Chain A
Amino acid sequence: MGEREYDASYQAPPAEVGEMELVHPRTFIGKYIWSQDAKVIAVQYMLTATAIGLVALVLSLVMRLQLGFPNTFSLIDPAEYLQSVSMHGMIMVVYLLTAFFLGGFGNYLIPLMCGARDMVFPYLNMLSYWFYLASVLILAAGFFVPGGASGAGWTLYPPQAISEGTPGVDGGIITMLVSLIVFIAGFTMGGLNYVATVLQARTRGMTLMRLPLTVWGIFMATVLALLAFPALFVACLMLLFDRLLGTSFFLPEMLGMTQEMAREGGSPILFQHLFWFFGHPEVYIVALPAFGIVSDLIATHARKNIFGYRMMVWALIMIGVLSFVVWAHHMFVSGMNPYFGFLFATTTLIIAVPTAIKVYNWVLTLWRGNIHFTLPMLFAIGFLFTFLNGGLSGLFLGNVTVDVPLSDTYFVVGHFHMVMAVAPILVVFGAIYHWYPKITGRMLDETLGKIHFWVTFLGTYLIYYPMHFIGLEGVPRRYYAYGETTFISESVQTLNAVITVAALVVAAAQLLFLFNLVWSYYRGREAGPNPWHATTLEWQTADTPPPHGNFGKELPVVYRWPYDYSVPGVKQDFIPQNVPPQAVEREP
């Protein structure tokens, strides 16, 4: 495309939003501990989430050692196995992934990418982190109360979660429920900030359809969270009443159980409905930020505009809407009305349509792109594979007739780890490699990163791929040991041993990653303001890392969408969002 005419007299629209009031503390504690700067809060969120995530990682290794080599290590007894399962699941889903994506990347990227100086209500944003930290501490306290942490599974189904005989019924379940309630209260404070900032505090020229997809993904996920967490909040509150006050919201007539008070007339399936009304959107609360971030990683590192930006946005919105009407596909075997199964299987399969649109668009963005195999790109491609794999096994589980025999087997474990554990965590890694230079001013080490990627990517396949086959054999999950059975073949034990070894290796690679984070902070190569030649606003700040207030005296003005890569007729292969049309250098 040759020279085009541009209106040189064009002026950006006047500012509708006044300058933000920022609190500028002078002490170290004010700047880094009780900080109201979204970027500091983001790092606080990331570090806390990583710390509790490492606990969950160790729990998974303990479980794998038991499953891979039964009667060899005897690190845990059956009750502790169940406690490890429950804590591992709850920590990973809520306290690591949700907190990392929304509290971490949301806080860091939303103000920067929208061109705002901070979140709209920094004080509440700060409280959000401290509530989160409190919830993490209360959760971790569950390990030390009498009877230990809850062993009810991360789904906390009553009546078993609060009945005699379940590990942690004395104290663990109480700390778990209180922790979740505190987490939800804290998250709401943060979430309101994220949504209000995206809606009401963008810079001049930043229309919604010029937002980077990262912001779109985090924004939609936060909207989902604000509407889905209330159901979990109510479920936790009622379960806490059942456990502490002797009500029976969820307890039907309990025969043969030693209960202190007569319980009857409650509805255990009500809990499942409430839980999954939260639980299914939760999958997308974790997935949508990953979708958004991966879109930006692919576009930036393939030097090509994202394919079908509008479709990508609409797909995010459609997935968000549909995610509220599919929850009962987790409950096909719960004893609910079978017609519900039919309805929810249908909606579940419909949600594959916008998801598939996104996958096609990522592939089409890569197609004939100028692909740089940088670390973020490697992780983004790794995400595409694992997500597609997990999505395909989701088609199996979404159908009632196939799901019923596969329910509660290792097929389910393999499926959801592939689609909502490995896939999002690969994006978390990719995003850290991508934005670490902005957060710290230094690049992460490339060699260590490549080892980290290949071990993690191939290792997770070694871990979760065999689980599908184990599950097809009918091996049930959440068992401490299988003992003598007629249906589990010898080879299952071999596979279990392989999985355990792979898990140990993958965990070791994560230590390498942590080492890389610390080492590069001091010794890494200086990154400069825009090492990836990216177009979005966070790379155009005057200082790196950006100070409190993000931009210099003047807020940037946005003139274009965020995907102007390799524009024909333009000298550089990218045009930042804040470059006015007159200032673009064109080839003669």
Chain B
Amino acid sequence: MNRQPMNRLATDGAMTRDTPRGPSREEGLPGLVADWGSDQRVFKQVPWGKAMMWLFLLSDIFIFACLLVSYMTVRITSTDPWPDTSEVFALEMGGQHVPLLLIAIMTFVLISSSGTMALAVKYGYERNRWATALLLILTALLGATFVGMQAFEWTKLIQEGARPWGNPWGAAQFGASFFLITGFHGTHVSFGVLFLLIMTVKVARGSLDKQRPGFLTGRKGRYEMVETLGLYWHFVDLVWVFIFAFFYLW
């Protein structure tokens, strides 16, 4: 690290720190600090809505992490054996016994919806109103399909005797964790679908092009909103991958 000459104090007003600061020319840690702490905005070219969504997702990651770690803990402490998930979540298909069939389709649907969402963001920035609206409604439909299949899965398990406090296959914590984690994730997807539908309406009627103020917030419509919503949607999909890996495959 280069030491500044001592006479810098006397010449550039370091005592009062009232000299202007341009872009950092320093290297190493001081340069890093100067860049991160730079004027007005930490993340240049990032609208506040997007920054705020990233912060929310960071917080939400901690919630899902706590849920998954708690599930792992009770899986270890439970006194009864843990049910075989590939058997519990198997379907009879044309006389064939297919493990995890429904979950595989659900995962495929949800991951596909991330693709349509990404395209919606792209067309949004190209100001292609109808393509954006179409892709948004497609994303919402795929999300709703996912929630529908989850409802089917819940119904099937409940009919087979699974309850939050017990189930026919083994440790009671299996049902508890299952309903808690998939329920919490399903709530996220459902809210996502709701917001996607609202955003579709906004895009289709041109609120984002005309910068019409929002009904509740009074904020002007912008196409960045599509990307912000996209961030949330991709996050919900990503979390599902972890739930799939740790709850269904393990």
A residues neighboring B (CB under 8 Å): 1, 4-7, 10, 12-13, 15-17, 21, 23, 120-121, 123-124, 188, 191-193, 195-197, 199-210, 226-227, 229-231, 233-235, 237-238, 241, 245-249, 252-253, 261-267, 270, 274, 277, 559-561, 564, 567-568, 570, 575, 581, 584
Contacts and interface: CB of A to CB of B under 8 A. Distances in A.
Contact of B40 (A204, A231, A237, A559): A204
Contact of A206 (B10, B40, B55, B217): B40
Contacts of A261: 165-166
A226 B14 CA distance: 36
Contact of A234 (B21, B63, B79, B176): B63
Contacts of A270: 70, 73-74, 77
A251 to B, nearest CB: 10
Contact of A200 (B20, B46, B77): B46
Nearest to A237: B180
Contact of B173 (A196, A230, A233, A265): A265
B24 to A, nearest CB: 10
A230 B15 contact: no
B58 interface: yes
Interface string B27-63: 0000001101111111110101101100110111011
A535 to B, nearest CB: 11
Contacts of B15: 1, 567-568
B66 interface: yes
A564 B18 contact: yes
A570 B67 CA distance: 58
B108 to A, nearest CB: 29
Nearest to B76: A267
Contact of A16 (B40, B63, B175, B184): B40
Given A199-B51, A202-B39, A230-B65, 6 more contacts: A10-B20, A208-B38, A237-B184, A241-B176, A241-B180, A247-B180
B171 interface: yes
A266 B74 contact: yes
A559 to B, nearest CB: 5
Nearest to A253: B79
Q: Nearest 8 CB-CB pairs, A to B?
A: A208-B37, A265-B78, A247-B176, A230-B62, A246-B165, A234-B66, A560-B18, A123-B217
B181 to A, nearest CB: 10
Contact of A196 (B13, B39, B52): B52
A581 B220 CA distance: 38
B164 interface: yes
A431 B216 CA distance: 34
A202 B37 CA distance: 11
30 contacts: A4-B13, A21-B218, A21-B220, A120-B48, A120-B49, A121-B48, A123-B216, A123-B218, A188-B59, A192-B55, A199-B41, A200-B42, A201-B40, A204-B39, A208-B42, A209-B34, A226-B58, A230-B63, A237-B180, A248-B165, A263-B172, A264-B172, A265-B74, A265-B78, A265-B171, A265-B173, A266-B77, A564-B18, A567-B16, A568-B15
B159 interface: no
Contacts of B184: 237
A575 B216 contact: no
Interface string B162-191: 001110000111011000100010000000
Contacts of B49: 120-121
Query: In the complex, which range does the number of interface residues on chain B fall in?
Result: 35 or more
B42 A199 contact: yes
Nearest to B17: A561
Contact of A249 (B44, B70, B217): B70
B48 A248 contact: no
Nearest to A201: B48
Nearest to A207: B37
Given A237-B180, A248-B165, A270-B70, A560 B42 contact: no
Nearest to A11: B20
B40 A203 contact: yes
Contact of B55 (A13, A196, A266): A196
Nearest to A16: B40
Contacts of A13: 20, 39-40
Contacts of B41: 16-17, 199-202
B19 interface: yes
Given A200-B42, A206-B39, A207-B37, A249 B16 contact: no
Contacts of B39: 13, 16, 202, 204-207
B17 A227 contact: no
A265 B52 contact: no
B40 A202 contact: yes
Given A234-B70, A247-B165, A249-B176, A264 B21 contact: no
B80 interface: yes
A188 to B, nearest CB: 6
B23 to A, nearest CB: 10
Contacts of B25: none
B8 interface: no
Contact of A559 (B18, B218, B219): B18
A6 B62 CA distance: 49
A15 B41 CA distance: 10
A247 B164 contact: yes
A6 B20 CA distance: 10
Contacts of A559: 18, 20
Nearest to A120: B48
Contacts of A200: 41-43, 46, 48, 51
A538 B59 CA distance: 30
B173 A266 contact: yes
Contacts of A230: 59-60, 62-63, 65-66
A247 B38 CA distance: 50
Nearest to B80: A265
A210 B17 CA distance: 9
Contact of B172 (A247, A560, A561): A247
A121 B55 CA distance: 13
Contact of A245 (B58, B73, B77, B165): B165
A327 to B, nearest CB: 13
Given A238-B70, A266-B77, A560 B51 contact: no
B39 to A, nearest CB: 5
A7 B12 CA distance: 10
Contacts of A229: 59
A15 B66 CA distance: 41
Contact of A6 (B13, B74, B166, B171): B13
Nearest to A247: B176
A236 to B, nearest CB: 11
A564 B14 CA distance: 11
A203 B77 CA distance: 53
B44 A226 contact: no
B220 A196 contact: no
A205 B20 CA distance: 8
B73 A267 contact: yes
Contacts of B164: 241, 245-247
A252 B73 CA distance: 13
Nearest to A199: B42
Contact of A209 (B33, B59, B175, B176): B33
A6 B143 CA distance: 61
A561 B44 CA distance: 22
Contacts of B34: 209
A581 B56 contact: no
A238 B13 contact: no
A550 B250 CA distance: 55
A248 B218 contact: no
A581 B19 CA distance: 8
